[in-house]
């Protein structure tokens, strides 16, 4: 086994954070991952309690966002929140943790919709309007990293996931990424005979990456890739209808019963990361197949989002596909 490292994780209790911290601990690293209630990164001094510790790595996952149309309705707050919390982390890295490698998480929506989603284009063109502020705060994070690394000779890396999926997502009523919402709706159609109405015409295409795949990539690339942006996706996208059919097959629901509401917000028509760089950096990368990846997620959604909220107590009817 490789040397045990001391690692700081922001957002370590979020969806990705829970999977990442548990994988880091499993391979023997010592992880410090405070919750926002104990370490609110909106406070510029939030990280000073750890000034005297010397971390080998910092994973900065914390971000103030949600799926669906959340970004559309909170652009101003998103700017203030995310710029503040990113600055807190960047400043701490450059002032107290110069020995640490900083690994941040970017977003595929920072890419302009009219360009190929390859790393060279991360700062090129204009991100989609509905996600503009969130996207720009992620670009600013990358620019902040570059600037501090240049001035102080620091080590860093940015990983850009396509939409993450896996078990143990959020069950606190927040807006869901499309795949969780799709599973929830189909399960409710199957179990409670509710109409399954999806947003858009179902031809908009999406890519997913299993959270365990993303974590494996993060562990593999963190020690050996320096100063780069790296897309982390499965390299394939599918129409929403295909995801829906796959879920129907596993759940036992007739896909012809699904209705499509073309009047609703659906975001980009297509979104698939170009992953040549990832394949070059890690030729053995072999993502979990969609069928195998979806199985435990369907079981999780059934238990936490569907059976825990039978028809009479289900409050949210929102769909984000």
Ligand X SMILES: NC(=O)c1ccc[n+]([C@@H]2O[C@H](COP(=O)([O-])OP(=O)(O)OC[C@H]3O[C@@H](n4cnc5c(N)ncnc54)[C@H](OP(=O)(O)O)[C@@H]3O)[C@@H](O)[C@H]2O)c1
Could you list the residues that contact ligand X (CB under 6 A)? Answer: 10-11, 13-17, 35-36, 39-42, 61-65, 85, 105, 107, 161, 163-164, 177
Shortest approach of ligand X to residue 16 CB, angstroms? 3
Neighbouring residues of 254: CB distance < 8 A, sequence distance ≥ 6: 248
- Contact between 97 and 58 under an 8 Å Cβ cutoff? The reply is yes
Residue 8 β-bridge partners: 32, 58
Shortest approach of ligand X to residue 85 CB, angstroms? 5
Nearer to ligand X, 48 or 259 (CB): 48
Cα–Cα dist 177/248, whole Å: 18
Nearer to ligand X, 105 or 278 (CB): 105
- Contact between 187 and 144 under an 8 Å Cβ cutoff? The reply is no
Nearer to ligand X, 5 or 20 (CB): 20
Cα–Cα dist 262/247, whole Å: 21
Nearer to ligand X, 77 or 226 (CB): 77
Residue nearest ligand X, Cβ-based: 14
Q: What is the DSSP letter of 110?
A: G
Shortest approach of ligand X to residue 86 CB, angstroms? 9
Nearer to ligand X, 10 or 320 (CB): 10
Nearer to ligand X, 85 or 278 (CB): 85
Shortest approach of ligand X to residue 316 CB, angstroms? 17
Shortest approach of ligand X to residue 198 CB, angstroms? 19
**Which stretches of 97-159 are DSSP H helices?**
132-152
CA distances from 317 to 49, 161, 191, 277, 320 (A): 42, 27, 16, 39, 10
Shortest approach of ligand X to residue 129 CB, angstroms? 18
């Amino acid at each position: 086994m490789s040397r045990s490292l001391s690692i700081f994780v922001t957002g370590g209790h979020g969806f990705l954070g829970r999977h990442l911290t548990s994988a880091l601990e499993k391979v023997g690293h010592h992880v410090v991952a405070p919750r926002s209630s104990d370490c609110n990164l909106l406070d510029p001094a939030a990280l000073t309690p750890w000034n005297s510790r010397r971390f080998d790595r910092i994973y900065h996952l914390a971000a103030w966002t949600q799926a669906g149309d959340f970004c559309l309705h909170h652009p101003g707050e998103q700017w203030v929140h995310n710029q503040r919390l990113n600055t807190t982390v960047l400043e701490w890295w450059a002032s107290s943790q110069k020995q640490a490698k900083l690994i941040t998480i970017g977003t595929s929506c920072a890419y302009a919709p009219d360009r190929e989603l390859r790393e060279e284009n991360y700062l090129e063109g204009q991100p989609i309007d509905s996600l503009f502020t969130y996207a720009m705060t992620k670009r600013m994070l990358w620019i902040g990293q570059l600037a501090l690394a240049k001035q102080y000779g620091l080590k860093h890396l940015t990983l850009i996931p396509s939409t993450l999926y896996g078990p143990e997502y959020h069950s606190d009523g927040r807006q869901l990424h499309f795949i969780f919402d799709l599973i929830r709706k189909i399960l409710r159609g199957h179990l409670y005979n509710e109409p399954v109405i999806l947003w858009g015409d179902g031809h908009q295409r999406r890519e997913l990456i299993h959270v365990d795949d993303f974590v494996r990539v993060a562990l593999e690339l963190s020690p050996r890739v320096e100063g780069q942006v790296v897309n982390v996706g499965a390299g394939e996208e599918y129409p929403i209808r295909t995801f829906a059919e796959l879920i129907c097959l596993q759940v036992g629901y007739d896909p012809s019963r699904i209705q499509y509401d073309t009047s609703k917000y659906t975001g980009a028509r297509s979104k698939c990361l170009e992953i040549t760089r990832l394949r070059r950096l890690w030729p053995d990368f072999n993502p979990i197949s969609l069928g195998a990846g979806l199985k435990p997620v369907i079981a999780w959604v059934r238990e936490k989002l569907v059976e825990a909220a039978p028809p009479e107590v289900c409050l949210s009817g929102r769909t984000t596909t």
